[in-house]
Structure 1
Amino acid sequence: MNAESEPARLRLLSAASTRMAGVLDMERVARHLVAVALGGFADTVGVYVAEQLIVGDEPPRPPGGRAVEARRIAVGATGADLEPLFPAGEMVVFAAGSAYAACIADGAPQRFGEPDRHLVLEPRVPPPRPARERLADLADFLLVPLRTGEAVLGLVGFARGSAAGPFTDADAALASELAALTARCLDGARRYQREHAAARTLQAGLLPLPPGAVPGVRVAHRSVPAGRANLVGGDWCDVVPLPAGRLALVIGDAMGHGSAAAAAMVQLRAAARTLAMLGKDPAQILTWLDRIAPDIGPVQFATCACAVLDPAAGTAEICRAGHPPPILLHPDGGCDVLDLPPGLPLGLDGADYENTRVAVPDGSTLVLYTDGLIETRTRDLEAGIAALRSALAGRADPLEDACADVVAKLVVPPNHDDVTVMLVRTGT
């Protein structure tokens, strides 16, 4: 590629931007850069990021003359497969004094005409002939830092064989533009992956007790956040053990998605758990949550269903606040939508909630869910409940399999609303 040509330069940058836009995985971003650069700009490309980024830390400070630990996240070459020799995901050490360490430490491009003697990168296996010839033919090297602001995330190494000719000043400028674009995408992916890990940790900490934690009762649940980018939403479910073998079951849906809904969900869940442990019945729990909801931040409305299950008596007291009605799956495979007063959503203040006692014979399954499971842009509430009943009817599967199957049948990603479902079966 002739980087002196403005159309060629713009085509390369446009191709890189198009391929990397919206990618939220660091390795995929790097692989896209490699693919674009191998299309005429370079004969080999390697992308390395500081090891600190991989373990979830902030971008490192310049090492100042020390060796640099980095992770190779993508590599490629024209006419040869370098992946078996220099696999992605491998940690490498750029020796102090090497051009590679200097590129990261100084944040400045480095040029040289033969392999850096300080570089401790040896093939892990003897290279096959195409790879050996490709590596032996490399005659010009260009290292460009992956810089975002004052931070250097790593570097991109470009190299050309003898037939391609050396990099020009225009090539070096284009490589810097490519690296800057890649650095922005890598930083976005890094932040997303860090937040993703934090959200998953939060979500795991808010899940109900694992199956088998409550004697005589089995529990299975699934949560699917809305869309592709949301990490955690406003749905929650909980199981709270109570005296005399009873347990409280709570499921709720705070309005909206993302961090605001998640923050409201955390507060409502904690309040519901505390109220249940204080011995409040379902209607009392919802009454108190209704009073609390307006004061928990920008998300002021939520729906909720609450039940206190007594397996020994074979009954449950249930109440709902604008939430979809629970379903009772009988031991013989039949299922009924429980006829309960709908109640008003939490946060409207002054709502009047009413308990309903229902029979829950041994071997029955109480199904609690949020509206994201049954309602879509093309399926209304009634059709969704009918689809859920059809998915549940006649199921004799293990509870975990039945729960997974319900989600698989009713949820088509990317779903536009958070989805939570909880199945609670009495008996052993």
Structure 2
Amino acid sequence: MNADSEAAGLRLLSAASMRMAGVLDMERVARHLVAVALGGFADTVGVYVAEQLIVGDEPPRPPGAGAVEARRIAVGATGADLEPLFPAGEMVVFAAGSAYAACLADGTPQRFGELDRHFVLKPRVPPPRPARERLADLSDFLLVPLRTGEAVLGLVAFARGSAAGPFTDAEAALAGELAALTARCLDGARRYQREHAAARALQAGLLPLPPGAVPGVRVAHRSVPAGRANLVGGDWCDIIPLPAGRIALVIGDAMGHGSAAAAAMVQLRAAARTLAMLGKDPAQILAWLDRIAPDIGPVQFATCACAVLDPAAGTAEISRAGHPPPILVHPDGGCDVLDLPPGLPLGLDGADYENIRVAVPDGSTLALYTDGLIETRARDLEAGIAALRSALAGGAARLEDACADVVAKLAAPPNDDDVTVMLVRTGT
């Protein structure tokens, strides 16, 4: 490779690295590769990943000698739209013995001079003339595996027309470097998407009961993990139906973010639910959680607010452990920050907690939230509570809309801390 070609190759790798770095979506990674490669390296590019990578949790095992299933996740060509012929997102089957199947099975590059049409589906409408001409002109094909360690995640199909000429040996090696870079980014995106799916499943399983599930109240809640990359944090909220039409409401914030805080959150939430169902009052629930907190792992401290709401009596018994005070929104829109003893955070052992009984008239809304909603680098606690009162007082009549408005106004992403807010309105 001469100096000019070497410099062009470095520019290509640099451009691909800059575009794909930090991208956490497999399809976007593939589209970035296609865009870079079409900038002078190839006339058509297709990115395929093993179907098992899409539907499974682990990298695909080496296929046998038979047909191989793969998913086309990106395709592009200079001067033509190939989507009608090769739609992205389509599952294809590479026939046994084909160059594509061999590349995926053996993880070795393949080279041929004519389009292998065995997996091309007939489009519903005839492809445009530019697409037909582009395909007819292709005369050199290079398949390069997307390999990470021992696993072959998929392949990249590069092709050139007669004007560009065939790939040189140096360019084939450069294609291998491009594919290796892409494979690393795809694997990172795959791991992120797998963890994201697991975190979403975890959070979905821990959500409070849906609106309408508890007679006598309506409920709306939102949870927003901190930052752009966190999937789950230490915030939680719960709604627990109790005998005689009462409802226990719990909201908490385990210190930190990520898996350690989430693990603490799960244990504290489960313990609080059990204690409430055993008939403990809010102060007793917090006292027991205080004893439990030091033994749940690296996250030892948490704040929590607990209430037992009796819609029939129009009252609530509330206690808090270092948590921001609940806000009561009256039917006429007025807001009161409930004056409750702050208590110490959970995990300090031996703290005393006190129950305070407050009137909750029919049509009132009790707002419970974590400190991430009101405190930011640019807003202290006092200013945050004032902003929350303003948002609640002027909120929408529909509870779900009011909850969404509060989060939109006070917790614009990327937020510095996890945010959870729960609105509970009495009456039907």
TM-score range with shorter-chain normalisation? over 0.9
Distance 1:349 1:127, change over 3 A: same
Which segment drifts farther, 284-293 or 395-404? 395-404
CA-CA distance at 1:186 after TM superposition: 0.4
In structure 2, relative to structure 1, the CA distance for the partners of 1:224 and 1:416 (3 Å cut) is same
- SS of residue matched to 2:406: helix
2:142 is aligned to 142
Following TM superposition, by how much is the alpha carbon of 1:39 offset from its aligned partner in structure 2, in angstroms? 0.5
Shift of 1:117: 5.2
* Matched-pair contact (CA < 8 Å) for 2:403–2:423: yes
TM-aligned CA distance change 1:2 to 1:129, over 3 Å: farther
How far is the alpha carbon of 1:397 from its aligned partner? 1.3
Hey, what's the Cα distance between the residues in 2 that align with 1:416 and 1:340? Answer: 27
State how 1:14-29 maps to structure 2 within 5 Å: 14-29=14-29
Q: CA deviation at 1:124?
A: 4.9
How far residue 317 of structure 1 moved from its aligned partner, in angstroms, is: 0.5
Is the contact between residue 85 and residue 120 of structure 2 (CA under 8 Å) also seen in structure 1? no
Alpha-carbon spacing, 1:343–1:126, altered in 2? closer, same or farther (3 Å): same
Offset from partner CA, 1:55-93 (integer Å, 9 cap, x none): 133122221211111110000000111123211111111
- Judging changes above 3 Å, is the alpha-carbon distance between structure 1 residues 365 and 117 closer, same or farther for their aligned structure 2 residues? closer
Does residue 178 (structure 1) correspond to residue 178 (structure 2)? The answer is: yes
Residue segments in structure 2 that go unaligned for 5+ positions in a row: none
Residue by residue over 1:238-268, the C-alpha shift from the partner in whole angstroms, topping out at 9 and shown as x without a partner, is 0000000001000000000000000000000
Shift, 1:119, TM fit:
4.1
* Counterpart-to-counterpart distance in 2, 1:40 and 1:192: 31
Q: Deviations over 1:112-150 (max 9, x none)?
A: 111125444544531111111111100000000000000
Once structures 1 and 2 are overlaid, which stretch shifts more, 310-319 or 121-130? 121-130
User: Does the Cα contact within 8 Å between 1:68 and 1:94 map onto a contact in 2?
Assistant: yes
Alpha-carbon separation, structure 2, partners of 1:167 and 1:72: 23
On the 8 A contact 2:217/2:427 being kept in 1, the answer is: yes
5 Å-filtered alignment, 1:224-303, equals 224-303=224-303
Q: Could you tell me whether the CA contact under 8 Å between 1:67 and 1:96 is conserved in 2?
A: yes
Aligned residue for 1:234, secondary structure, equals: strand
Change (3 A) 1:3 1:194: farther
Q: Indicate how the Cα distance of structure 1 residues 12 and 279 shifts in structure 2: closer, same or farther if over 3 A, else same.
A: same
Measure the CA separation in 2 of the matches of 1:191 and 1:121: 31
Count of residues in Structure 1 that have an aligned counterpart in Structure 2: 428
Change (3 A) 1:135 1:406: same
1:184-233 deviation digits (Å, cap 9, x = unpaired): 10011011111101110110110000000011110100000111111110
The 10-residue stretch of structure 1 (219-228 or 109-118) with the greater mean CA deviation from structure 2: 109-118
Could you report, residue by residue, the CA deviation over 1:279-333 in whole angstroms, capped at 9, with x for unpaired residues?
0000000001011001000000000000000111110010000000000000001
The 3 A distance-change label for structure 1 pair 187 and 197 is: same
SS in 2 for 1:125: coil
Structure 1: distance between partners of 2:76 and 2:6: 25
Q: CA deviation at 1:412?
A: 1.1
Contact 1:43–1:160 (Cα < 8 Å) also in 2: yes
Structure 1 CA distance, aligned partners of 2:99 and 2:374? 58
Change beyond 3 A, Cα 1:244–1:2? farther
Give the Cα–Cα distance (whole angstroms) in 1 for the partners of residues 166 and 307 of structure 2: 73
Moved more, 194-203 or 393-402: 393-402
Q: CA deviation at 1:416?
A: 1.0
SS of the residue corresponding to residue 127 of structure 1 reads: coil
Confirm or deny: 8 A CA contact 1:332 1:394 kept in the other structure.
no
Over 3 Å counting, the alpha-carbon distance change for 1:412 and 1:230 in structure 2 is: same
Q: Which residue of 1 aligns with 2:414?
A: 414
Cα gap change, 1:124/1:104 in structure 2, threshold over 3 Å: closer, same or farther? farther
Cα distance in 2 for residues equivalent to 1:277 and 1:377? 38
Q: Given the alignment of the two structures, is residue 365 of structure 1 paired with residue 389 of structure 2, yes or no?
A: no
Name the SS of the counterpart of 2:256 in structure 1.
coil
Change over 3 Å in CA distance of 1:378–1:155 after alignment to 2? same
8 Å Cα contact 1:224-1:420 kept in structure 2: yes
Deviations 1:315-356 (A, max 9, x none): 001000000000000000101000000011001111111111
Question: Relative to structure 1, is the Cα distance of residues 396 and 230 closer, same or farther in structure 2, using a 3 angstrom cutoff?
Answer: closer
- Residues 11 and 124 of structure 1: CA distance in aligned 2, closer, same or farther (over 3 Å): farther
- Contact conserved, 2:85 with 2:121, CA < 8 A, in 1? no
Which SS does the other structure have where 1:382 is aligned?
helix
Mean Cα deviation higher: 394-403 or 165-174 = 394-403
Decide which moves more: 302-311 or 80-89.
Answer: 80-89
**Contact preservation (8 Å) 2:395, 2:405:** no
Distance 1:30 1:412, change over 3 A: same
Distance 1:43 1:414 in 2: 39
Secondary structure of the equivalent of 1:16? helix
Partner Cα separation in structure 1 for residue 267 and residue 67 of structure 2: 47
C-alpha displacement at 1:5, in angstroms? Answer: 1.9
Question: Is contact 2:92–2:119 with CA below 8 Å preserved after alignment?
Answer: no
Structure 2 SS opposite 1:358: strand
**How far apart in 1 are the matches of 2:386 and 2:4?**
64
Asked whether the equivalents of residues 319 and 341 of structure 1 are also in contact (C-alpha less than 8 Å), the reply is yes
Residues 100 and 119, structure 1, Cα contact 8 Å, conserved in 2: no
SS at match of 1:256: strand
Aligned residue for 2:420, secondary structure, equals strand
What's the RMSD between the two structures over aligned residues? 1.3
